[in-house]
Each structure stands twice: as C-alpha cells, then as structure tokens.
Amino acid sequence: MFNVTVIGTGYVGLVSGTVFADKGNSVICLDIDEEKINRLLRGDVPIYEPGLQELVIRNMSSGRLDFTTDAKRAVQSSDIIFIAVGTPSAEDGSADLRYVQAVCRDIAQNMDRHKIIVNKSTVPVGTADKVKLWIEEHLEKDVPFDVVSCPEFLREGSAVRDSLNPDRIVIGGANPEAVKVLNKLHEPFDAPIIETDPRSAEMIKYASNAFLATKISFINEISNICEKVDADVTMVAQGIGLDKRIGSHFLKAGVGYGGSCFPKDTNALIQIAEDVDHDFELLKSVVKINSQQRLKVIEKLQQQLGRLEDKVIGILGLAFKPNTDDMREAPSVDVIHNLKEYNSKIKVYDPVAMAMARRVLPADVVYCDGIEELLQGVDAAVLLTEWEDFKTINWGLMKDKMHRPVVIDGRNVFDPEEMRAMGIQYSSFGRQN
Ligand code: UGA
C-alpha cells in the first residue's frame, strides 16, 4: 500500500483520491480552496456525482482519506503526488497551465525526499518536461524526483464506476523504476496497463477525447442527412455500431456534446497541432458541426411554431448530460441564449442543475419546480438532457397542460410513432417524425 497525495479536489482529483483510498492506500487530498476542504472534512461532497459521497465518508471513517490546505503536510506525507488541477482554455484555445505551474512550485518548496510526481490533469504534449523544469526551478535542496504522465478517462456522472473499473490505465514515464511503482499502485484495478513515454501518454488523452467527439459529430452529420433522405439515424447507428471495428458507443445523435472536456480538449488539440504547423482540419470540422448542431433546435422549433417571438418554450434538462449538475458548455446554454434573441419566453427545469443554471442563464428565465409546472402553458417543450425522469413523461396526459403539443427531442429519447399516436407534434434528430 502507498502514501498518496492528490493535489486538486475537482472531479478528477476527488474521485481518483477517493478511489485510491478505497483500494487500501493512505490518501491526502490538497486544495487551496479552504471552504471546499472544510466541507469535505465534514464529509460533504461539493459536486453531484452518484456514489461519491458514500465512498468519501466510508474512506474518511476508515482513516484512509484526509483533506488539507496545508501544502507542506500534503507533500511531505507521501511518496507519490498526483497533480489533478484544472487546465482551462486560454483565449487561443490552448490549455492554460498556470495552475499546474503553481502546484509545481508548492511541491518543490516542500519536497523533503524522493517523490514520484504524476500528471493526471489533461495537459499538452510536452508538459511532463515542463513540470520537471518548473519543479527544478523552485527546489530548495537537491532532492531527486520523477515525473510520470497518467491521464484520467473517467466520465462525469459515472465517475466512481469508471474509476473503479477503468478500460485501461496509461502510465507514461522515463524512469522504469517510477513506472513500476505506479504499475503496482494500479494493480488492484485489474485493467490493462499501457506503459509508454510521457509524450505518448499525454497524446493518448487528447486523441481519445478527440476521437469520441469525432464519433458524435460524425453521427450528427449522418443524422442531418438521414432527415433529408428519409432514413432513421438510430437504425443506422445500430447497424454500423455492431461492426466491432466501429463500436456502438458514442453514436447517439442529437444536440451534440458539451461538458468541461470535449469542447476544451478538441480546441486544445487543434492548437497543439497548429503549434507544429499542422492544420487539423478534421477536428476543426468536428467542432464546427457540434456548434451548429445545437442550433438545429431553433430550426425545428421554427418549423413547428413559425415565429418564435413571445412563444413560451419549456426546456427539459439543463446539465450537459444526465447524472451531473455540470453546466459547462452545456447545449442548453447556447439554445437558451439563442431563443432569447428571438424574444421567446423561457421556462426551465432540471432535476439537479438548477442552482448551477442560475449562475449562467439569462436573468428572466423562469425556474420551475418540476415537469408539470414546466409544461404548463408552453408552446413547445424541448428536451436537452436525457434524465431518466423525463423518459417516463406521460405525454398523453401532459399535452393537455401545454398550450400547444409540440415536443422537440434533442436526445432522441421518445418513440416517434408513440408520440404521434398521443397527438404530439414531435420532432427529433435524424428520424422520421
Ligand atoms: C469525457 C470522456 O468520455 C471521458 O473519457 C474523459 O475522461 C472526460 O471527457 C474528460 O476528459 O475528463 P464527460 O465529458 O464526462 O467525459 O462525458 P461524456 O459521457 O463523454 O459525454 C460528453 C458529451 O457528449 C455529453 O454532452 C453527451 O451528451 C454527449 N454525447 C455522448 C452525445 O451527444 N452522443 C453520444 O453518443 C455520447
């Protein structure tokens, strides 16, 4: 068992730290946000992530998981230090490494003995070398250390499950001894381990997210064509997905991807390519298709309602996907801002993202307490997040509450025939409605 420090208690840091503790290691998580650390010390998890709160409490009570704002204590109590801080987008789309840089200084200033420093944040190719330099720059005495790149592939909403059962673990390090230690740390996860150099590990992370985003934009383009040639994209996705070389995941057509990762990482990879004079045209198209896809909702509303001015539109689902309250780059934000430009009146409901939504949506949006309140008097309902609660809406009953029985399904959740049979004017993506 190992002593592990995780720096940064966002999605990646908090979940990874907790899961390492659950596998029997002694873990201390460090963050500069005192309020967050105090909440965590009370067993109060500040993010919505199914199963995480229970896991945090269980591992805190068993004494394997602790939280602190004290960098010295965090750095000196461990042999392995994970960096899991944010790498937001800079203005040109590249990853802003200022938090990683600040963490390197904290580590260096408190380093008392050999450490393995592991990059878990999503960082541009070559960052492991920079981390080495940044640490060396601030080292106060001659302490040896290794830098390893170990990207994270968990998804929000299923972060605990993904972290406990990863498809693969990637360890990119120059020193075989350090790689061996990380291999041992990851043994209990029972997943294939790819040992590689740090640059390839860093690239694997970006290439994975870029590929998944490409699958989504690809199926969305196919869905746009399906609409014009009277084909059904769900059937097409099933038909191509059964080919093992293609795979059935990430072929759901709709309003496209959002979240804190795909939009940021696709742009960062475009920038990484640009920096070496490579025009990543394919990925640029993926990004463009994704931003156009959201606005298809407006077209579909116009087809059903004509002018959108003063029409009351009810938005079902605000989070960028179900099982999270994360609103970062959520399609709902763009759709709502666009509808405001058409002077529509907007009502919204999301089972968990309402508090987050209040921070980012226009001031005059009406927040509803539930599905019924949302649908009351609307000219159209637009589903943007496929929460389970929405899948069981009885439209036959609900349509009487609506001003017009118009439903735009941005995630292809409902069956077009059933909707039609219930008298709904139904519109989804890439299917005959
Ligand atoms: C994504 C990756 O899936 C993770 O492997 C990765 O670790 C993470 O980014 C990251 O880099 O941190 P996440 O953003 O949490 O995870 O969510 P996903 O489940 O991948 O969904 C992303 C977006 O794609 C959502 O808006 C979702 O609605 C959309 N999507 C997904 C589709 O539109 N169609 C699909 O078929 C699948």
Phi and psi at residue 209, to the nearest 5°: -65, -40
By DSSP bridging, strand 145-149 and strand 169-173 are: antiparallel
- Strands (E) across 150-271 are located at 169-173, 193-196
Torsion of Cα atoms, 218 then 221 then 226 then 227, to 10°: 150
**What pLDDT, on the 0 to 100 scale, is given for residue 161?**
94
- Pick the atom of ligand 1 nearest to 216's CA: 34
- Of the candidates 393, 369, 373, the one whose C-alpha atom is nearest the C-alpha of residue 383 is 393
Q: How far is CA 1 from CA 163, 176, 264, in A?
A: 18, 19, 35
**What pLDDT, on the 0 to 100 scale, is given for residue 33?**
96
Taking the model in full, what pTM does it have?
0.95
Pocket flag, ligand 1, residue 294 (CB < 6 Å): no
> Are 312 and 378 within 8 A, CB to CB?
yes
In this structure, the chain runs to a length of: 433
Please enumerate, by residue number, every residue annotated as part of a binding site for substrate.
153-156, 205, 250-254, 258, 321
Domains of the chain listed by start with CATH number: 3-196 (3.40.50.720), 292-427 (3.40.50.720)
Which uninterrupted H or E stretch holds 227? helix 198-229
Q: At what angle are helices 198-229 and 127-138 packed, to 10 degrees?
A: 140
The string over 364-388, giving b where at least 16 C-beta atoms fall within 10 Å of a residue's C-beta and e elsewhere, is: ebebbeebeebbeebbbbbbbbbbe
Residue with tokens 């720096």: 7
**What pLDDT, on the 0 to 100 scale, is given for residue 341?**
96
Rounded to the nearest angstrom, the distance between the alpha carbon of 321 and the centre of ligand 1 is 8
Pocket flag, ligand 1, residue 209 (CB < 6 Å): yes
Pocket flag, ligand 1, residue 86 (CB < 6 Å): no
Distance of CA 387 to the CA centre of its chain: 16
Q: 407 is written with which tokens? A: 């439903």
Other beta carbons within 10 angstroms of residue 249's beta carbon come to 9
Please enumerate, by residue number, every residue annotated as part of a binding site for NAD(+).
31, 36, 87, 122, 156, 264, 328
Torsion of Cα atoms, 429 then 219 then 387 then 353, to 10°: -100
Distance of CA 94 to the CA centre of its chain: 18
Q: Is 226 a catalytic residue?
A: no
Pocket flag, ligand 1, residue 431 (CB < 6 Å): no
What is the side-by-side order of every strand in the sheet holding 115-119? 65-68, 26-30, 3-7, 80-83, 115-119, 145-149, 169-173, 193-196
- DSSP letter for 108, please: H
Q: 102 is written with which tokens? A: 């600040």
Q: Which amino acid is residue 118, in one-letter code?
A: V
For atom 35 of ligand 1, the residue with the nearest CA is 250
**What pLDDT, on the 0 to 100 scale, is given for residue 116?**
98
Which residue out of 104, 150, 261, 368 is catalytically annotated? 261
- DSSP letter for 343, please: T
3-state helix, strand, coil in the chain (%, to 5): 45, 15, 40
Q: Which amino acid is residue 208, in one-letter code?
A: S
> Are 160 and 51 within 8 A, CB to CB?
yes
**What pLDDT, on the 0 to 100 scale, is given for residue 140?**
87
**What pLDDT, on the 0 to 100 scale, is given for residue 164?**
94
Is the complex ipTM higher than 0.90? yes
Rounded to the nearest angstrom, the distance between the alpha carbon of 257 and the centre of ligand 1 is 7
- Can you give the pLDDT of all 433 residues of the chain as single tens digits? 999 999 999 999 999 999 999 999 999 999 999 999 999 999 999 988 999 999 999 999 999 999 999 999 999 999 999 999 998 888 888 889 999 999 999 999 999 999 999 999 989 999 999 999 999 999 988 999 999 999 999 999 899 999 999 999 999 999 999 999 999 999 999 899 999 999 999 999 999 999 999 999 999 999 999 999 999 999 999 999 999 999 999 999 999 999 989 999 999 999 999 999 999 999 999 999 999 999 999 999 999 999 999 999 999 999 999 999 999 999 999 999 999 999 999 999 999 999 999 999 999 999 999 999 999 999 999 999 999 999 999 999 999 999 999 999 999 999 999 999 999 999 999 998 7
Q: 426 is written with which tokens? A: 């139904």
As a whole number of angstroms, the distance between CA 215 and CA 212 comes to 5
Q: 27 is written with which tokens? A: 């873990």
